[in-house]
Chain A
Amino acid sequence: MRRICAYIISVALFSGYIPVYGQDTDVPQDSVTIPLKVSFGIEASGPVIYFTDKNVLNTEAYLLYDFDNKKALHAAGGYSNYKYSQYNYSYRNKGIFFKAGVDFNILKPEISGGKYWAGIGLLYGISRFTWQVDSFSYENYWGKHTFSMPEQSDWGHYLEVSPGFRAELLKNLSIGWSVSLRKLLITSASKDLKPAYIPGYGSTGNSISFGMNYFLTFNFSYKKIRVGIKPEPAEEGGSGTGIIRSIR
């Protein structure tokens, strides 16, 4: 799993070259204009998955508020309705979750230009949910018996680290994706009846929950700021301030 995550992050960060924003000439500039934005969006993969698997519905909407060109407030909430059954048990879970934290942009201002974001989000999440086991079968020497557990309410707290990438595709519209790594901190459920699934967190089977998110984001600029550019040392045969630069 670690290799998969490393691979995805590598793809994100080295997916290519991005045009410099706000440079109309080859003349070196000492600052760029960055629009600070309020953005809201939705996580797109949840509804798509629901079309193929009616047992899993995850919806999530979020709000981003740029503090500056590097940091943004990230607040999100969502609803989940999850059903799972296999040969020996049938499980249902539904509930809501909220999470909030900060997104850090690691791109240089002259690269991001307010249009691109590559970085990491650090979020704290709270989930409130109900779950029940419609049936589970237990078979041993004494025979086969079927049991059930009534609906019960629980909550869970978790931390989320989500490296990702967003790019402005059209004016005011961005798309992006992130990898989510979540660590369950505490849950009100007893240790013997840990829920199989927690809304916003995911499956509880492993110590770290892994997820992929695809975003559609609508952006609205509320302010523009000038951000200084660190001069790069001149390279032989190049100005060092060309139109195309790699993400490093």
Chain B
Amino acid sequence: MRKSFLKIISAFLVIIPVFIFSCTPGSCYDETEARVKASMYQSATEKIVAPDSVSLFGLERDSAIYKKTSNITSMLFPLDPTTETCTFLVKINGESDTVTFSYSSYAHFISKECGYTYYFTIEQPVTTNNIIDKIVLTKKTIKTLNEENMRIYY
């Protein structure tokens, strides 16, 4: 009895460190912001082509999301969960257009480590047509996944 008792106690002692280890909080490695991912299509060829330069600003905002950035074939538009519309100023190869998103937002639990974020359901974006020919919405639910949501033809 004494011997088996000692064995059981030993087993307890072996397990306790594993138990403690399993309770150690982890870190967040997931994407935590859902943004509209727009692929850049050249109208003439209907193929993905990077513009010479791209700038992106929130309307009436000074800070740029992209500033004369080259060699990008997709842009990420951050949306504001406290409002239902967002308007952006898009400059492609020096010419400007505005793109307006109307959307609804809803909270989404990512994980215990990362917490909560907002997902969005967007409607067909409205754009001016200086450099942008059209916008085609391909996936209206905006999640943190790396997936195309719309195509900008220019």
Chain A interface mostly helix, strand, loop or mixed? strand
**A142 with B82: CB separation less than 8 A:** yes
Chain B residues near A141: list those with CB within 8 A: 58, 61, 63, 65, 78
Closest to B10 in A: A15
Interface of B is mostly: mixed
**B78 touching A142, Cβ below 8 Å:** yes
Would B15 and A15 count as touching, CB distance under 8 A? Answer: no
Cross-chain contact of A12 among B3, B11, B107, B111 (Cβ < 8 A): B11
CB–CB B78/A138 < 8 A: no
The answer to whether B22 has its CB under 8 Å from any CB of chain A is: yes
Query: Residues of B within 8 Å of A, CB-based: how many?
Result: 39
Query: Which residues in chain A, 168-210, are within 8 Å of chain B measured between CB atoms?
Result: 169, 175, 177, 192-197, 203-205, 210
Binding stretch for chain B, among A23-31, A61-69, A82-90, A221-229: A82-90
A106 within 8 A of B: no
Binds A, one of B38-46, B96-104, B112-120, B132-140: B112-120
State whether A196 touches B4 (Cβ < 8 A). Answer: no
Query: Does B68 count as interface, using CB distance less than 8 angstroms?
Result: no
Known contacts A149-B107, A167-B5: does B14 contact A11 (CB below 8 Å)?
yes
28 chain-A/chain-B pairs, Cβ below 8 angstroms: A4-B18, A8-B15, A8-B18, A11-B14, A15-B10, A16-B3, A16-B4, A16-B7, A18-B4, A19-B4, A84-B112, A86-B25, A89-B116, A138-B118, A141-B61, A141-B65, A141-B78, A142-B58, A165-B8, A167-B8, A177-B12, A177-B15, A192-B106, A196-B109, A205-B111, A210-B22, A212-B19, A214-B12
